[in-house]
Amino acid sequence: MSRPITSLPLDRRAALGLMAGAATIGMPSVVRAQTIELVAHYSMPPIFKEAQESLAEAFNRRSDKVKVGYVNPTPTYEEGAQLILRQATTGGLPDVSFQGLNRLRLFSERGIAADLKPFLAREGDVEKLGYSAPLLGLGFHGGVQCGLAFATSNPISYLNADLLRRVGQDPDRFPTHWDEVIALAARIYALGDGNEGMFFRWPGDDWMFSALLYGHGGRMLTPDETKVAFDGPEGLAALKLLDRMVKEGKMPNFGASATSTADLQAFGAGKLGAMFRTTAQVRQVSGMVGRNFELRTTTLPVIDPVKGRLPTGGAGVMLVAKNPARQAAAWEFMKFVTSAEGTAIMARNTGYVPCNQIAIDDPAHLGAFYAANPLFQAATRQVHLMIPWYAFPGQNSVRVTQIMVDNLARIAEQKASPEEVLRDMAREVARLIPRA
């Protein structure tokens, strides 16, 4: 029995794919119909492992000519982006890669992600596949359809109902404004015994900062993308709110690492009253909590009820293969994972918002699931507030993200004021964005 493709490192699998292709030359015609074994890459296995394995199993079960296997997943979106950027130079690229929605633009600009417009054109009416214009727009940059939305998210509130009740807060009436949330967090912290009131998941990337910025009605760059725009009153208000979470809400510093799980561990152990992070982890958090306490989820507290918006986080799937035969095979897999059936599998196994209009509109796909699983409903109540996670232009987009995280850490560590952080962050980011 042959060794499973999922057990091989990426460069070895790529080599086997090339060898398999070369071996068909001069062989009888029956061999030319040999199964194509695709190599796919994704990030954040604690969130995506069950979903990706379920999708691969379902796809492989129904597909005779194309099979898919995964390389070892990368821990974070940022590490996943760095892996593909590196392999675009050194070799060993997969056929398909699932990347953060804010990185699809980078891969389009570097010519790594294939333009999917010809593939979509061959499908005819793509709305019949569930690809609405807004969903396609999440993977459209600079005239290139560089990816398809696979999993979308917005930030929600995770609540320890038992701790809330201990300080007299009805979990069914969780505060909807940050002033009240911060005051509530201070009351939980005052319980002592290692209890923490709140944690706003700022580390890792700029996504949760953008939730505060967009919540105030702000934006990252000017419309022509030549100047920083977050250095105005909305950006300062966002940083001041984060500062208040630390000072008044007694928010602990769980570290700036994207892979840190200190907040998840504290929450799962029943020592954290409220946690604000992506809806993608509803399934994971629910499993961690188990029967330790009553878990609730609800929408994110309001900042500006008129102008406020939320960033659309999550992942898109992009086509990396260059060989036409492997591209065609990869397209079949991509169609499946973004189909109504595929997106329903993804949503049930994660907590992400569906990315297929048919799955969204037809209750036959997820209606019964949401009715039976109220923890998954918070994000669906915020869909009307979702706008794209901003993708910084140019070759330095990954560095821009790290600069923003490093500066946010200064507030979490109380090493700089919001004014100082805003000034420094704006100056450093301005150096890295392209000039007109």
- Residue 172 gets which letter from DSSP? G
Residue 261: the pLDDT is 86
Residue 153 identity (one-letter amino acid): S
Query: Hey, what are 143's tokens?
Result: 């005239």
Tens digits of residue pLDDT in 194-217: 999 999 999 988 999 999 999 999
Tokens of 71: 């390389």
* Residues lower than pLDDT 70 in the chain: 1-33, 256-259, 436
The b/e string for 323-353 (b: 16+ C-beta within 10 A; e otherwise) is eeebbebbbbbbbbbbbbbbbbbbbbbbbbb
AA letter at 338: T
Give 4-16 pLDDT, tens digit per residue.
Answer: 344 344 444 443 3
CA 270/CA 418 separation, integer angstroms: 31
Give the separation between CA 57 and CA 79, rounded to whole angstroms: 26
Helices and strands counted in the chain (H then E): 18, 12
Q: Please list, in sequence order, all residues whose beta carbon lies within 8 angstroms of the beta carbon of residue 384, skipping any fewer than 6 positions away.
A: none
pLDDT at 436: 54
DSSP 230: T
